[in-house]
Amino acid sequence: MQVKPIGIIHTPYREARGTPIQTPAGKGVRGWVEVFDEFVPGLKDLCGFERIWLLYWFHRAARGKLNLHVTPFLDKKTHGLFATRAPLRPNLIGISAVRLLSIRRNRLGISDIDILNGTPLLDIKPYIPQFDCFQVSRCGWVRDSSPIAVLADERFAQTMPRTQKCTSGSKTKSTQTFRKGDRTR
């Protein structure tokens, strides 16, 4: 099985600490998606959608042993990994329904972001309420009242080495954050 990035997600978030835990906490925060040239024809008609799903690779997830019981950001108790959205997973796949603001050639303006800068993009899909929005009567351990946290800490992430800190989202700089040796299992 092969997975290859189709682009790079550029955001204001350089470190896990302080990054929104989910997109509602990043409401209004803007970033952009750079789609690699060979995939640009596939963006036709996407502009009609207000929200899009981004699927991406948690390239800055912590290295080391995978825990199948984790304490997620939103609780003080441990839960099975698959009952959480923790970034450190067997396959480091993240999913966020962001707001689509604009499309100019290979550049998608987005807002409502919970993603680190330089994150490799794996796929884009339209958010379609008829398919993606359900009224449910159970939501497991997740409280429906105010969450205990809205911004992440560094428990699941690597910090960026000082020498590779970057200050803008240009292609050259952002791709430096996808380093040789990053976890790809």
Ligand X SMILES: C[S@@+](CC[C@H](N)C(=O)[O-])C[C@H]1O[C@@H](n2cnc3c(N)ncnc32)[C@H](O)[C@@H]1O
Binding site for ligand X (CB under 6 A): 16, 19-22, 58-61, 73, 85, 87, 94-96, 114-116, 119, 152, 157
Of residues 21 and 52, the one with the C-beta less far from ligand X? 21
CB of 114 to ligand X, least distance (A): 5
Which DSSP state fits 67? P
CB of 18 to ligand X, least distance (A): 8
CB of 130 to ligand X, least distance (A): 21
Of residues 21 and 110, the one with the C-beta less far from ligand X? 21
Question: Is there a contact between 113 and 95 (Cβ–Cβ < 8 Å)?
Answer: no
CB of 165 to ligand X, least distance (A): 15
Of residues 31 and 94, the one with the C-beta less far from ligand X? 94
Closest CA to 93 of 58, 53, 132: 58
Determine the number of helices (DSSP H) and then strands (DSSP E) in the chain: 2, 8
Of residues 107 and 155, the one with the C-beta less far from ligand X? 155
Query: What CA–CA distances, in Å, run from 64 to 89, 153, 169, 176?
Result: 11, 18, 28, 21
Question: Is there a contact between 85 and 140 (Cβ–Cβ < 8 Å)?
Answer: no
CB of 44 to ligand X, least distance (A): 26
Question: Is there a contact between 54 and 93 (Cβ–Cβ < 8 Å)?
Answer: no
Of residues 119 and 174, the one with the C-beta less far from ligand X? 119
CA 104 remoteness from chain centre: 21
